Amino acid sequence: MRTKKKTQLKITAISLFLIAALTSVCIIFAMSNAAKAQAEKIISGAYYSELASPESFVPAEPETAVTVSAKNAIVYSYKRSRPLYEKTENGGKIYPASTTKLLTAYTALQFLSPDDAITVGDEIGLIHPLSSRAYLKIGQKIKVSSVMKGMLMPSGNDAAYVLAAAAGRKITGDPELSAKKAVAAFVDEMNGFAKTLGLENTHFTCPDGIHDDDHYTSVYDMVKITKYALSDQTIAEAVKTFRATVRSESGEINEWKNTNKLLDPDSDYYCA
């Protein structure tokens, strides 16, 4: 049996665990089943156990304390609906990078059904040259649920644009709308939807999170986004899947591996 680092988060009876760690933010969500969730985390000199009372904080041993280098961070208990740890600068404002895709996914599913088959178009040519990709191909016909996996598992920016373009055409009611205009319509809808969800410090400029000074959120808004996103079964299923082989409606096969190290059995951070 693998010997785990003392600083590793250990959880049993987990139904889902999602972690998003960026240079500016670290967000951890633990969702346990209704039976007996057990969670332990040592972070920045504090030890917290879900088995104890919410106020039960015990100083950690010096050698097990974790230093959080991110300027903004939050550890949030989905079970207790409260933060367990917070660290913020500048009001918690962050550039969310690929965690943007959680709102992309949730917004897209307001207009697309998971079983809808959509066709990959020239919208994939709009992504940044250094983007992470799901390697979808123009002309590929593929289900929305599969594109979701391509976006949320390997963090495919091409998949994010495919969903944005398809949903954008549904939003405008124009199936012939250009890729650029369809994606722009979708991003406008994302921002409008963010306001509807009560996200007061969020503004997005793209569906994949490529940096833009005007593309930002806060750690607190990211908590809300993640809670809403994980309430959808299609999204929840995608983020907890480590490997997937998908055959599209047009016959292409894509193989994806999740970038979440907590799901990787070969990672020191693997959480069984």
Please name the residues in contact with 32: beta carbons below 8 A apart, sequence gap of 6 or more.
11, 13, 14, 15, 38, 39, 50, 78, 79
Asked if 164 contacts 181 with a C-beta cutoff of 8 angstroms, the reply is no
* Cβ-based neighbour number of residue 116 at 10 Å: 15
Q: Is-catalytic flag, 98?
A: yes
Choice among 146, 155, 218, 248 that is catalytic: 155
Torsion of CA 112, 155, 265, 5, to 10 degrees: -120
Contact 30, 17 (CB under 8 A): yes
Q: Which residue type is seen at 229? A: A
Cα gap 16→106, rounded to integer Å: 17
**Whether 155 is catalytic:** yes
Cβ neighbours for 231, distance < 8 A, ≥ 6 positions apart: none
What does each C-alpha distance from 22 to 42, 50, 55, 153 come to in angstroms?
19, 25, 28, 16
Q: Which of 32, 77, 93, 98 is catalytic?
A: 98
Q: Are 149 and 140 in contact (CB under 8 A)?
A: no
Determine whether 56 is an active site residue.
no
* H or E element, residue 150: helix 144-152
Q: Which of 32, 41, 93, 101 is catalytic?
A: 101
How far apart CA 119 and CA 116 sit, in angstroms, is: 10
Give me the active site residues, please: 98, 101, 155
